[in-house]
Amino acid sequence: MEDGGTASYIALDWSDHALWWPDRNKWLTRARSTLDQYNVQADARLEFTPMHKNLKVVLPDLQVQGMSIDCSVKCFTAVVQTCKELGIRRPEELSFMRKWDRDDLKRVAKDAYKRKKKGDHDVVNSPLSANGTQMHNSQGSLDGGKLSPYPSRSPSGPSPNSTLARGSPHNLSSSMSGYSTFNGGSGGRLSSSALSPGSMHSLEGIMESSLANSRPIPAKEAFQYLTRPKNFAEKARVNCAWLDSSVSLMEQGIHENDFIMLKFKFYNFYDLNPKYDAIRINQIYEQARWALISEEIDCTEEEMMVFAALQFQIQIQSGLPQPDLDASGSHNNLSNHTEEDEIDAALKDLQESLEGSAVSSHGDITHIPELCDYVKFFKPRKLTLKSYKRYYATFKDTFISFYRSKEESQGPPVMTRIDVRGCEAQPDVNLSAKKYGIKLFVPEPEGMSEIFLRFEIEEQYCRWMAACKLASTGRTMADSSYEAEVRALQSFLGMQHPVVSPTSPHNSSQSTTQSSNNSTMNSINQADIQPEDFVAGRFYRKIKSKSLVSKIMEAHSNVQDMTLMEAKLAYITAWQSLPEYGITYFRIKMANSKKEEMMGIASNRIIRMDLNSGDSLKTWRYNTMQTWHVNWEVDHVILEFENEKVTFGAIELSCKTIHEFIGGYIFLSMRASDKNQSLNEEMFHKLTGGWHE
């Protein structure tokens, strides 16, 4: 080699390169190991390739960011690095998903089911390519070049910039033009026209603005990036797309220019602080919004109107100046933590723990809070009509007792008292019909027993529902969080109530002025509402467009005074109150059973469910679970509780995914209140890694 060539060769930086073994689909990253220790033979073909690859990352708000991501480290580490670059705290709550559409998911699930039926578990656990095919040899996988988010389709699919185009008619203001500067093919760099030369402050400002306040995207455009499950089986199938946190991206078939989705995987949001988490809160809000509009999670019509009203308020406030979070504490009333410093917060927690619950208003720490009301009770049985009976009921500790009247409450109950510890409580509310009910699934030795409670007024419902929610986690009304739970329920129902304008004669002039102002505002705002962008498809098909806009504006009158951050936090809080919130579904078969069922994994419990109806059959809490592991020979998950052992196998994916969800929630529950606590990646992999090193 000539001297000039040698000089240029030495000047190159190869620090980001490593050896890739296509035939074994693995990186050779242990620098101190020899090729012989890796069992590399003379005929093996190795590739010396960059570890960082340009990927198109679809964020929860459906922005597509072209980013350079390390594909040689474990997926969990890559997520941590990506979140750090995006400015998202608590990266352990997120993970990467493959970008598959419904046809891809159906094909992958069908192939996995066939292989499992044949007993070929090794093939099921092997990596998949970007289009969902099994990877036996990844030769030619470094060329990249596919631009469609659906790799099994032609590259003529939606452009990665389709949601970010500068000339889009859906932009609300010119101030949001920073979105257009992120080009999927530019490796995450901004175009030169967006920034002055060398202006890193401008770069950070545009990035933070675009991630903390997302531009509204039409639903028709967004559905190109979303799956729209039609039933519980399809909701479970979506989870085939999660990547293994213990394996690198490239070893799972993710290569140059592939689409990949970054989403919140674990619904256990810790330390949401408006001052530091503007980006994180916005991305959680966006994921919740699209989950509701795409019908990944169900809600009632009244609840949907509240969500639509909050979305509209957020859309309005995003173009207005907001109060300084340092100067105002009004944003914190819906967040999980206050703006006090750590010392004051610790002292407050200590004070609450010593004083006990605020429910006991007489200063008697031995007093056990109790609810006593006339309620209507119904327990479904086969071949019986749904008829409620009125009883005088008491709720004390975690037990509900029923009596014929208040006078008889000092004697024995008319039926065996019900222990609702570990129950599943679902709302059965219709405000327009003044229906306030609770649907309880109470654990029994043979499964879950279904019970309906009906109340006369909203106040009763809120207090009983809060008590049932606490009882489901083994807590009582003596817990300090009881009153906060009651207020949260009252706040959510309050947003669903229509605002009645004054009509009395002495307020006629004021009413006329208010109505004229509201009509002017409504005439301006209603023009900005496209109902299909605010509500789920089933409501859009059921209700006429003009009527939908009217309902949304009516609900908006309850939230029109909220700031941007207050509206986003209210949206997240309302989303968390839905019965299906935070449940990840998997199709399974119990050991020694041929019937297909569904297993739901949540932040504090595991739920055995009916695949067709989604009804709970049995619930197990993590605090009663002693061990959990996987028998990799037969690909079965084994859960050992205090009184029983539960064994089941996944149908459409590897049990490693279910194992990771359970271990992930256990890991998240171990997070301490110390805000400076470092992320323990080693512990995460111990709890979720399974057979991976």
* pLDDT in the model for residue 227: 85
Q: Provide the H-helix boundaries in 245-329.
A: 278-293, 301-317
Of 473, 478, 379, residue with least CA distance to 421:
473
Q: For residue 490, tell me if it sits in a domain.
A: no
Domain shared by 33 and 143, yes or no: no
Kind of pairing between the strands at 389-396 and 370-378: antiparallel
pLDDT tens track for 177-232 = 333 333 333 333 333 333 333 444 444 555 677 899 998 889 988 988 888 888 99
What mean pLDDT comes out for the span 644-668? 93
Of 583, 492, 664, 551, residue with least CA distance to 309:
551
- Coil, helix or strand at residue 463: helix
Which residue would you say has higher pLDDT here, 109 or 126? 109
What mean pLDDT comes out for the span 398-427? 90
Helices and strands, counts by H and E, the chain: 18, 21
Q: Among 449, 477, 505, where does a domain finish?
A: 477
* pLDDT in the model for residue 326: 62
Residue 688, φ and ψ in degrees, nearest 5:
-120, -15
User: Total domain count for the chain?
Assistant: 4
Domain shared by 34 and 118, yes or no: no
Structure tokens at 474: 């083994």
Euclidean distance between CA atoms 105 and 607, whole angstroms = 23
pLDDT tens track for 7-51 = 445 456 788 899 999 999 999 988 888 999 989 999 999 999 999
Which one-letter amino acid corresponds to residue 395? F
Of 393, 357, 365, 368, residue with least CA distance to 378:
393
Q: Provide the 10 A C-beta neighbour count for residue 294.
A: 18
User: 688, 681 in Cβ contact below 8 A?
Assistant: no
Q: For residue 422, tell me if it sits in a domain.
A: yes
Whole-number percent of the chain with pLDDT over 90: 42
Structure tokens at 301: 């019509």
* pLDDT in the model for residue 441: 86
* pLDDT in the model for residue 449: 82
What mean pLDDT comes out for the span 487-496? 87
Domain shared by 37 and 66, yes or no: no
* pLDDT in the model for residue 423: 85
pLDDT of 580 above 50: yes
Structure tokens at 441: 């699934």
Q: For residue 404, tell me if it sits in a domain.
A: yes
Which residue would you say has higher pLDDT here, 525 or 371? 371
Domain shared by 16 and 100, yes or no: no
Kind of pairing between the strands at 605-609 and 616-621: antiparallel
What mean pLDDT comes out for the span 106-110? 77
First CA to last CA distance, the chain:
43
568, 572, 575, 580 alpha-carbon torsion, rounded to 10°: 150
* pLDDT in the model for residue 308: 94
Q: In whole angstroms, how far apart are CA 218 and each of 169, 331, 386, 533, 668? A: 10, 28, 43, 6, 34
* pLDDT in the model for residue 119: 64
Strand extents, DSSP E, 170-308: 259-264
Structure tokens at 121: 């578990």
67, 68, 71, 76 alpha-carbon torsion, rounded to 10°: -50
Q: For residue 619, tell me if it sits in a domain.
A: yes
Which residue would you say has higher pLDDT here, 513 or 277? 277
How far is C-alpha 530 from the chain's CA centre? 25
Largest Cα–Cα distance of the chain, in whole Å? Answer: 105
User: 633, 649 in Cβ contact below 8 A?
Assistant: no
Strand order from edge to edge, sheet including 418-419:
418-419, 399-403, 389-396, 370-378, 447-455, 435-444, 424-430
Q: Provide the 10 A C-beta neighbour count for residue 603.
A: 18
Domain shared by 12 and 137, yes or no: no
Q: Pick the range with the lowest mean pLDDT from 62-76, 442-456, 504-518.
A: 504-518
What mean pLDDT comes out for the span 297-307? 92
pLDDT of 503 above 80: no
* pLDDT in the model for residue 338: 41
CB-based contacts of 566, cutoff 8 Å, min separation 6 = 330, 331, 333, 334
What mean pLDDT comes out for the span 473-477? 86
User: 692, 250 in Cβ contact below 8 A?
Assistant: no
pLDDT of 1 above 50: no
* pLDDT in the model for residue 154: 33
pLDDT tens track for 630-650 = 888 888 999 998 888 999 999
Q: Among 231, 265, 299, where does a domain finish?
A: 265
What's the CATH number where 45 sits? Answer: 3.10.20.90
Structure tokens at 442: 């109470």
Of 280, 67, 291, 283, residue with least CA distance to 160:
67
Euclidean distance between CA atoms 371 and 394, whole angstroms = 5
What b-and-e string marks burial along 314-331, b requiring 16 or more CB atoms within 10 Å of the CB?
A: bbbbbeeeeeebeeeeeb
Euclidean distance between CA atoms 615 and 609, whole angstroms = 5
pLDDT of 233 above 50: yes
Domain shared by 214 and 176, yes or no: yes
pLDDT tens track for 336-381 = 444 445 566 566 656 655 554 333 334 444 567 899 999 999 888 7
Q: For residue 162, tell me if it sits in a domain.
A: yes
Domain shared by 116 and 22, yes or no: no
DSSP state of 274: T
CB-based contacts of 637, cutoff 8 Å, min separation 6 = 628, 629, 630, 647, 648, 649, 650, 655, 658, 659, 662
Domain shared by 596 and 454, yes or no: no
* pLDDT in the model for residue 111: 78
Which of the residue ranges 319-323, 460-464, 613-617 has the most confident prediction, judged by mean pLDDT? 460-464
Q: Among 477, 510, 536, where does a domain finish?
A: 477
- Residue 374: which domain range? 369-477
- Coil, helix or strand at residue 367: coil
Domain shared by 421 and 385, yes or no: yes
* pLDDT in the model for residue 259: 94
Q: For residue 260, tell me if it sits in a domain.
A: yes
Reported as a pLDDT band with limits 50, 70 and 90, residue 687 is: very high
Residue 586, φ and ψ in degrees, nearest 5:
-140, 135
Q: For residue 157, tell me if it sits in a domain.
A: yes
Q: In whole angstroms, how far apart are CA 559 and each of 173, 556, 604? A: 22, 5, 31
- Tokens 């817990």 sit at which residue? 479
Domain shared by 207 and 90, yes or no: yes
Q: Pick the range with the lowest mean pLDDT from 152-156, 357-361, 569-573, 622-626.
A: 152-156
Which one-letter amino acid corresponds to residue 351? Q
Give kind and range of the element (H or E) at residue 79: helix 75-86
DSSP state of 186: T
Q: At what angle do helices 564-576 and 482-496 cross, to 10 degrees?
A: 110
Which residues on neighbouring strands pair with residue 426, listed in sequence order?
A: 439
How far is C-alpha 142 from the chain's CA centre? 33
Of 248, 309, 311, 304, residue with least CA distance to 282:
311
* pLDDT in the model for residue 353: 55
What mean pLDDT comes out for the span 510-517? 41
Euclidean distance between CA atoms 632 and 637, whole angstroms = 9
* pLDDT in the model for residue 205: 58
Domain shared by 30 and 93, yes or no: no
Q: Pick the range with the lowest mean pLDDT from 96-100, 139-143, 490-494, 629-633.
A: 139-143
Which residues on neighbouring strands pair with residue 648, listed in sequence order?
A: 590, 637
pLDDT tens track for 239-280 = 999 999 999 999 999 999 999 999 999 999 988 999 999 999
Which residues on neighbouring strands pair with residue 61, listed in sequence order?
A: none
Q: For residue 359, tell me if it sits in a domain.
A: no
Structure tokens at 650: 């996944």
Give kind and range of the element (H or E) at residue 485: helix 482-496
Reported as a pLDDT band with limits 50, 70 and 90, residue 546 is: confident
Of 412, 384, 416, residue with least CA distance to 400:
416
What's the CATH number where 643 sits? Answer: 2.30.29.30
DSSP state of 114: H
Q: Pick the range with the lowest mean pLDDT from 64-73, 386-395, 442-451.
A: 442-451
CB-based contacts of 239, cutoff 8 Å, min separation 6 = 584, 585, 586, 653, 657
* pLDDT in the model for residue 106: 76
* pLDDT in the model for residue 107: 81
* pLDDT in the model for residue 133: 52
Output the average pLDDT for the chain: 78
CB-based contacts of 543, cutoff 8 Å, min separation 6 = 301, 551
Structure tokens at 643: 């009184």
Kind of pairing between the strands at 584-590 and 389-396: unpaired
* pLDDT in the model for residue 678: 85
Euclidean distance between CA atoms 130 and 151, whole angstroms = 6
Domain shared by 110 and 233, yes or no: yes
User: 454, 473 in Cβ contact below 8 A?
Assistant: no
Whole-number percent of the chain with pLDDT over 70: 72
Give kind and range of the element (H or E) at residue 402: strand 399-403
pLDDT tens track for 127-168 = 555 555 554 333 333 333 333 333 333 333 344 333 433 333
